[in-house]
Structure 1
């Protein structure tokens, strides 16, 4: 392959704009960076939630949203790709291993002899016995098969490399982390916070309002404070728990310290990072969350639940506090500690986070992904 020949890359992920989540942001950022380098990029995704347009261009990327006939278990859209063309596609990059869209695309790629790269983003959690059994069966019959049939396999961290070895994945695994782009807009304070007492420390949660992101754990931690803890908590984002959050908020003993912002703009998000005492990430499972990288690059200390080795990333770089996952008591203590830390300590955490984040900028990450593409196409 001629190294500088423009490529046509098909990126496939179930979720994409306007859906809110780290996975689709990951795909979009890779796509836009590839477009900047002169490559053609197409995205296939499910039309969930339903969007006004099924085919459009966003950021130089041709997006094709596929209407599902139904959505299994609320998370796996049943789609058909029979009427979609792969003409001119040089390489397909799958983002996930289990969904129907992913497996159907892989089958088409193998039939049409188009190389496939697959990124394994994270390991989802099932709590019921039945759920755990189904998870094992699906992995054995579908997930592992997707990776073994791929021409290259990417994981986000060494934790996932070790996990996949335990789960029986053979062959080379490339470790390429999630990336992020610096927010270029000027910071703008969310309207809901204009009248807040700015002398009080502010902790923030930014992300999808979901079970995975540990929103319930965060509010259970707030409930541990019987009196005013001396700080405020702002929750920014939307998701399947949006209505639940409104109801849960009314039942909090200290509902007065919690500000619900809804979905924020990039300008407002940047303001939160630059003005917060710390960002709280109480997730149950993660790959490498964009919010973590964005906060660190903004010199904002972080409280990270120690899932999939992410707590170690924070503690070893001394950029904040690591907490035991799914433990509201420990989380509440960490929130209190950060909110009451001296400015000198906050500055140390912030500066270390900024330095650590530099290697995760999308420019560097995409170059490593391109190296994998070139290797596969040789």
Structure 2
């Protein structure tokens, strides 16, 4: 069976999620648009997971989750502060601005893909006149686009700065599970207890067939969010087929097991690649991604030989992403192929 390292989106559905998808299909007719028993069960399970009474919504993909969540935090004349490599800035085709009717993304730099409290304050205090898009929210990605993970104290510091300036805090958690696995912390401790208002909890990259959960810890911000979901074309009529597979992830902490495995495979790959003289590790390996730089000729050879990975960080820069089903044998095979390509 072919396995690739371009994205954890390449992986299939984990058995536990597939089981509940089939179960939901076998249960007969159910009310539509989220009024079914499966959606209610998963909402309760997510509340139990985070140990708080939060509002939970389901959408088809991460772009919709982030964009609709941010739109609920902002007016058209506002701005959202994020890192310069944030997915909402580089990979969502202007969707956050579109769904918010024009709220501007204000980007800042930061080491290892992380936003800092100082960068937030610099943007907020740069200007206060009526001609400047008024900052209203902060968005951080956990784990980040370069595979690093915000520590609890870092999130708390960002939250404190956001509160100081009256800003809401959004967390893009497409790979939230991988961050939790790395930190070994309770999910509540790196979200609402640390000051996060809304989390886009990623399921697709963790073994679901489709679907992300938008979790509002600050429930006041969820007012009319259901209407945003509908208007945005994200309200599934047969919602149970998006929500039910979540039971497979949440039961027995399969979501965490999947993330731990993906992280472990990335560590295995990291440990093999770091021994190759021509390979340079670009960012710390803290989740399920390994970022390296190698001779471009070596990267070209790997691509020609059928390996799949992303190159979007300059010449010779490569990202290898591991998933819930990545096999040790494939990791070792890839490492050997990189060594051969570099030596060749």
Q: TM-score range by the shorter chain?
A: 0.3 to 0.5
- TM-score, with length taken from structure 1: 0.30
- TM-score, with length taken from structure 2: 0.32
**Greater helix content:** 2
Higher RCO, 1 vs 2 (CA within 8 Å, ≥6 residues apart): 2
